[in-house]
Amino acid sequence: MNSQRILLAGGLLLFLLSAFTGLYYDLVLRPAQHTAASYTLDMALNMATKGDPAMAAAFAGEFASLSLLQEIHARLPLHLAFAGAAAIAPVWIVAKLDISERMKRMLALLIVGGGLLLGAGDILQSMGHALPGRYVVFGGYAWIALGLGAYSLYAGLFIWLNTEPKAKRR
């Protein structure tokens, strides 16, 4: 499989994963999370008005963790869609670059793999592994940036080396 096909197939796969995770979040997770968050906030306010600050603080802490979980679940489709766009963006220039196909494939796999790492990091965070999940998300962003940066560097060098200087007029 050549680098253009890897980028196109990987980008489309990431877009499809983004659509399916967004659909799952909107249809299944968000209504349940909204109900749970509303209940815990209501209980925190009730306990605070009844003079039980310990229980109010416990329910407020539960509300905070549910809000964080909602944010992580909502971010997953966005990360996957960003990674899909990042994978499809260099497709048009890959064919014009004068580097080995092996290097092109390696950079394409780096970008697509970075997108999958973004999703895996969000899933880790939603399972309660906040710090390792953040590091995996950071690694995914680093892989994508490294792949896009290398393509940009090669494209810049290609343009710089293959343009003829203009003749000076007197």
By the 8 A CB rule, do 112 and 87 touch? yes
Per-residue tens of pLDDT for the chain, all 170 residues: 889 999 999 999 999 999 999 999 999 988 888 899 889 988 998 889 888 889 889 988 899 888 888 888 899 999 999 999 999 999 988 888 888 899 999 999 999 999 999 999 999 999 989 899 999 999 999 999 999 999 999 888 888 888 877 767 76
CA distances to 57, 59, 63 from 50, in Å: 13, 14, 18
Residue with tokens 């679940």: 73
Give the contacts of 124 (CB within 8 A, at least 6 positions apart).
132, 133, 136
pLDDT at 14: 96
User: What pLDDT sits at residue 77?
Assistant: 94
Chain mean position to CA 9? 17
Q: What is the pTM for the complete model shown?
A: 0.82
Tally of residues, the chain: 170
Output the pLDDT for position 166. 72
Instruction: Judge whether 40 and 48 are in contact, CB under 8 Å.
Output: no
